[in-house]
Amino acid sequence: MNFIAERAKVNPSATVGIMDQVKKLQRAGEDVISMSAGEPDFVTPEHIRAYAKQALDEGYTFYSDTPGLMELREAIAEKLQRDNDIEADPEDEIVVTVGGKEAIYSAMMATINPGDDVIVPDPYWVSYVPCIELCGGHPVYLPLKESEGFRISASQVERVLTTRTKMLILNSPNNPTGSVAARSDIGALADLAKQKRLLVLSDELYERILFERKTLQYCVICWHEGTFHRCQRILKSNSHDRMATWLLDSAQKHRDTRYCNSQSSSHRRMHFRSTRRSIGITRRKNGQVHQGNGS
C-alpha cells in the first residue's frame, strides 16, 4: 500500500533544499555563504526583541483569535489606510498568518478548485506552482521577457486565458526579477480582471524594498474601482525588520474568502499570542505601525 497521498507528491522547495544543505555543511565546519533565502545579515532590532520579552512577562502566552489578534488586525488596517489608501475591515477582511507561504497557500485553498487554471508569470517565486498543484489547480505559465523589463501586460494575460482561468498571480515588486509593474499596466490588468471575472492574488511582500524610489512607483491593484473584492493581497513583516524566524504575515481578502480561510485555518493551527502582540500592538503605541510591524 502507498501511504503517500498523490496530492502531496510535489517537488520540494529548492530554496529550502539549499538552506538545509548549507546548514549541514556549516555544522560540519565548512565556511559556506548561503545564496538561498533572502535573509539580511543583522539580527532582529533590539526594541522588537524587547517587546517580545515584555509580552511574555505580561502573560501573553495564550491562543488568540484564529484570524489573528484583533488589536493586531486593527493595526494592519491602519497601515493599509495610511500607506495604501485602502479601507479594510479588520473583523472580516484581514487574516494574520504564520509566514507568507501560509498566506498564499491558504488564499489558494479557499478559492482554487480542482481543474481551475491559475496564470503564473514566469520567472516566478519557487512555491507558487506547488501551492497551485496542492489545491488541484493547473498552472498556466506566462513567459516574461528580460528585454522588456519583465513587463506584464493585460494583452499578454488575455492571450493565455482559458475557459477555466480563475486566478492571476501578480507579484510586484517581483521576486526573483526585481521588476516593478507600471501603474498603467496595473490599471489595465484591473480592468481585465473585472471584465473576465478573475481573482488576483497580489503578492506585495516587497512593497517597501524599492531601491529607485525616485523613478519607480509602486502601485496597488486594489486602488482600481471594482477590483477590491477580486484581490487577495499578501503582505509581510519579516522581510523588512530582519524577522525571518518570527513569520508574521497578513492577507487582505474578500470577506467570504476570509471566512472560508478562517474556518479551515481553525483546523490547521492556532495562533500563539506573544510575538504578534509584541511586534504589532506595542509598536502601534509608539506610532510605528507600518508594513514591518504586522502586515
Give me the helices (H) in the chain, please.
14-27, 46-57, 70-84, 100-109, 128-134, 154-159, 183-196, 255-268, 273-285
Enumerate residues 6+ apart whose C-beta is below 8 A from 197.
230
Say if CB 170 and CB 203 are below 8 A apart.
yes
168 bridge partner residues = 119, 200
The pLDDT of residue 217: 54
Confidence of residue 289 (pLDDT cuts 50, 70, 90): very low
The pLDDT of residue 293: 32
Q: Is 122 a residue whose pLDDT tops 70?
A: yes
Separation of alpha carbons 232 and 266, rounded Å? 19
Q: What is the pLDDT of residues 163-184, one digit of tens each?
A: 999 999 999 989 999 999 988 8
Percentage of residues of the chain with pLDDT beyond 70 = 72
Residue 243 located in a structural domain: no
In angstroms, what CA-CA distances link 256 with 56, 91, 229, 236, 259? 34, 12, 9, 22, 5
Residue 134 located in a structural domain: yes
Residue 116 located in a structural domain: yes
Point out the least confidently predicted range of 34-38, 84-88, 266-270.
Answer: 266-270
The mean pLDDT of 250-264, rounded to a whole number, is 53
Separation of alpha carbons 94 and 90, rounded Å? 5
Q: Is 266 a residue whose pLDDT tops 80?
A: no
Look at the block and give the residue holding cell 499578454: 156
Residue 151 located in a structural domain: yes
Residue 40 located in a structural domain: no
Say if CB 199 and CB 113 are below 8 A apart.
no
Domain limits at 149?
100-237
Residue 167 located in a structural domain: yes
Residue, of 246 and 265, whose pLDDT is higher = 265
Indicate yes or no: pTM above 0.85: no
- Reported as half-sphere exposure (CB side, CA atoms, 13 A), residue 198 has a value of 27
The pLDDT of residue 288: 46
Residue 158 located in a structural domain: yes
In angstroms, what CA-CA distances link 287 with 75, 144, 291, 293? 10, 40, 13, 11
Separation of alpha carbons 216 and 173, rounded Å? 10
Quote the number of domains for the chain. Answer: 1
The mean pLDDT of 107-129, rounded to a whole number, is 95
Using only C-alpha atoms, the chain has a radius of gyration, in whole angstroms, of: 19
Cα–Cα–Cα angle for 117, 122, 127, rounded to 5 degrees: 70
Cell of 21: 544543505
CATH number of the domain that residue 153 is part of? 3.40.640.10
Long-range contacts of 33-37 (CB under 8 A, 24+ apart): 37/244
Kind of pairing between the strands at 231-236 and 199-203: parallel
Nearest residue to 289 (alpha-carbon basis) of 232, 250, 246, 231: 250
Residue 136 located in a structural domain: yes
